[in-house]
């Protein structure tokens, strides 16, 4: 894929926090692309590095953290090399983030209209009148009733679901090329979660926006994503088309996530749980970071970190991918065989 088709291209990104206890490599050499109008589900357990990936893209990593290596190209421009002034100009315009807590976006002491109009006016030379019209349209687009009245409200006058809709409206208002949605529905009740999920999906599709949907829930990613990337201990251990990841996972960690999905299981009390714990980022094992929890791990897995391999459909980091063990549908002729991507 060339840059012109990718809204975002992340190459070998490494982001670390330099703590007293040592260097915690929260994002450990990830490669990820997001096409225009494409929805990528970024999935992984707590602490796997999803939010740090999002913050790295947005240029929001603060001390003691820093991007150590790699590039993040937005429409071909490397954000890692960009000045803080340039990043501020891109944020809220070409690049936006929807946070789990909408109050990360909203200012409690400003009216909704002021905040929305400001987001337009700092990036675009339009009249205040035009900015107000756009703000109202943006609220209507996210399904806020009586938008003209809501514009005059303060955030505390709205429900949690409504606040998140406003935060989404602000994220979308300048038609960004890339949106990162970081678990924006987890704090909301189930019906509203689903509404917001499909709303953001449709808005992103309609505007050809690349969307990264961050979630710990593979089921949610399966609902909306075209592609799924699975993170484990700072690495993307598997990525590919959503249906392929769900139907024929290569990585045993992804298999475990699928087995622990409640769908189709009659006995929820006995839901599968991947045994063991995620490794400490300060003390990663020298081989595959999943090996201590992996039923298939052999000596090689404990000794050597698997390279990222590409079998033409899915990229994965595993010495013994599932489809090769279980006689999956991919023939060996389709294997690119151990080529780091």
Binding footprint of Mg ion on the chain (CB under 5 A)? 50-51
What residue 17 binds from ligand ATP, Mg ion, none (CB within 5 to 8 A, per partner kind)? ligand ATP
What residue 52 binds from ligand ATP, Mg ion, none (CB within 5 to 8 A, per partner kind)? ligand ATP
Q: Please, which residue, 52 or 301, has the CB nearer to ligand ATP?
A: 52
How would you class 201 by CB atoms within 10 Å of its CB: exposed for 0-12, middle for 13-18, buried for 19 or more?
middle
Distance (Å, whole) CA 311 – CA 239:
11
What residue 47 binds from ligand ATP, Mg ion, none (CB within 5 to 8 A, per partner kind)? ligand ATP
Q: Please, which residue, 235 or 309, has the CB nearer to ligand ATP?
A: 235
Label each residue of the chain as H, E or C.
CCCCCEEEEEEEEEEEEEECCEEEEEEEEEEEEEECCCEEEEECCCCCCHHHHHHHHHCCCCCCEEEEEEEEEECCEECCCCCHHHHHHHECCCEEEECCCHHHCCCCCCCHHHHHHHHHHCCCCCCHHHHHHHHHHHHHHCCCCCHHHHCCCCHHHCCHHHHHHHHHHHHHCCCCCEEEEECCCCCCCHHHHHHHHHHHHHHHHHCCCEEEEEECCHHHHHHHCCEEEEEECCEEEEEEEHHHHHHCCCCHHHHHHHHCCCCCCCCHHHCCCCCCCCCCCCCCCCCCCCHHHCCCCCHHHHHCCCCCEECCCCEECCCCCHHHHCCCCCCHHHCCCCCCC
- Beta carbon of residue 56, minimum distance to ligand ATP (angstroms, whole number): 9
Q: Please, which residue, 65 or 161, has the CB nearer to ligand ATP?
A: 65
What residue 210 binds from Mg ion, ligand ATP, none (CB within 5 to 8 A, per partner kind)? none
Q: Please, which residue, 64 or 312, has the CB nearer to ligand ATP?
A: 64
- Beta carbon of residue 70, minimum distance to ligand ATP (angstroms, whole number): 16
Strand partners, 13: 30
Distance (Å, whole) CA 294 – CA 176:
40
| Residues with Cβ within 8 Å of residue 285, at least 6 apart in sequence | 279, 291, 292, 302
- Beta carbon of residue 52, minimum distance to ligand ATP (angstroms, whole number): 4
- Beta carbon of residue 19, minimum distance to ligand ATP (angstroms, whole number): 5
What residue 304 binds from ligand ATP, Mg ion, none (CB within 5 to 8 A, per partner kind)? none
What residue 180 binds from Mg ion, ligand ATP, none (CB within 5 to 8 A, per partner kind)? none
Q: Please, which residue, 52 or 274, has the CB nearer to Mg ion?
A: 52
- Beta carbon of residue 44, minimum distance to ligand ATP (angstroms, whole number): 5
Q: Please, which residue, 53 or 322, has the CB nearer to Mg ion?
A: 53
Q: Please, which residue, 51 or 56, has the CB nearer to Mg ion?
A: 51
Q: Please, which residue, 48 or 135, has the CB nearer to ligand ATP?
A: 48
What is the C-alpha end-to-end distance of the chain, expressed in Å? Answer: 13
- Beta carbon of residue 52, minimum distance to Mg ion (angstroms, whole number): 8
Q: Please, which residue, 47 or 70, has the CB nearer to ligand ATP?
A: 47
Measured in whole angstroms, the distance separating CA 288 from the mean position of its chain's CA atoms is 23
- Beta carbon of residue 25, minimum distance to ligand ATP (angstroms, whole number): 9
- Beta carbon of residue 99, minimum distance to ligand ATP (angstroms, whole number): 11
What residue 216 binds from Mg ion, ligand ATP, none (CB within 5 to 8 A, per partner kind)? ligand ATP
Q: Which residues bind ligand ATP (CB under 6 A)?
A: 17, 19, 24, 26, 44, 46-52, 64-65, 216, 281
- Beta carbon of residue 300, minimum distance to ligand ATP (angstroms, whole number): 26
């Amino acid at each position: 894929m060339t840059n012109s088709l990718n809204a975002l291209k992340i190459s070998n990104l490494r982001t670390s926090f330099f703590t007293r206890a040592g260097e915690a490599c929260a994002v450990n050499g990830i490669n990820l692309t997001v096409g225009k109008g494409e929805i990528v589900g970024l999935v992984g357990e707590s602490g796997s590095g999803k939010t740090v990936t999002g913050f790295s893209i947005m240029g929001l990593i603060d001390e003691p953290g820093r991007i150590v290596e790699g590039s993040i190209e937005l429409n071909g421009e490397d954000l890692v090399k960009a000045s803080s002034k340039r990043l501020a100009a891109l944020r809220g315009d070409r690049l936006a983030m929807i946070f789990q807590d909408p109050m990360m976006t909203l200012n409690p002491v400003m009216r909704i209209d002021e905040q929305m109009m400001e987001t337009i006016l700092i990036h675009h030379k339009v009249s205040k009148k035009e900015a107000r019209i756009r703000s109202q349209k943006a609220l209507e687009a996210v399904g806020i009733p009586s938008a003209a009245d809501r514009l005059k409200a303060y955030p505390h006058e709205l429900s949690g679901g409504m606040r998140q809709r406003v935060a989404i409206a602000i994220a979308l208002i300048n038609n960004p090329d890339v949106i990162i949605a970081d678990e924006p529905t987890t704090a909301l009740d189930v019906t509203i979660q689903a509404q917001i999920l499909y709303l953001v999906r449709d808005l992103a599709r309609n505007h050809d926006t690349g969307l990264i949907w961050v979630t710990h829930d593979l089921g949610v990613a399966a609902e909306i994503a075209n592609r799924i990337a699975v993170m484990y201990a700072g690495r993307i251990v598997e990525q590919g088309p959503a249906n392929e990841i769900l139907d024929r996972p290569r990585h045993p960690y992804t298999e475990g996530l699928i087995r622990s999905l409640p769908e189709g299981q009659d006995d929820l009390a006995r839901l599968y749980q991947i045994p063991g714990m995620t490794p400490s980022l300060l003390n990663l094992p020298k081989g595959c970071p999943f090996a201590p929890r992996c039923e298939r791990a052999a000596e090689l897995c404990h000794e050597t970190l698997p390279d990222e391999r590409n079998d033409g459909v899915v990229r994965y980091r595993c010495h013994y991918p599932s489809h090769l063990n279980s006689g999956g549908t991919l023939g060996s002729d389709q294997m690119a065989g151990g080529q780091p991507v």
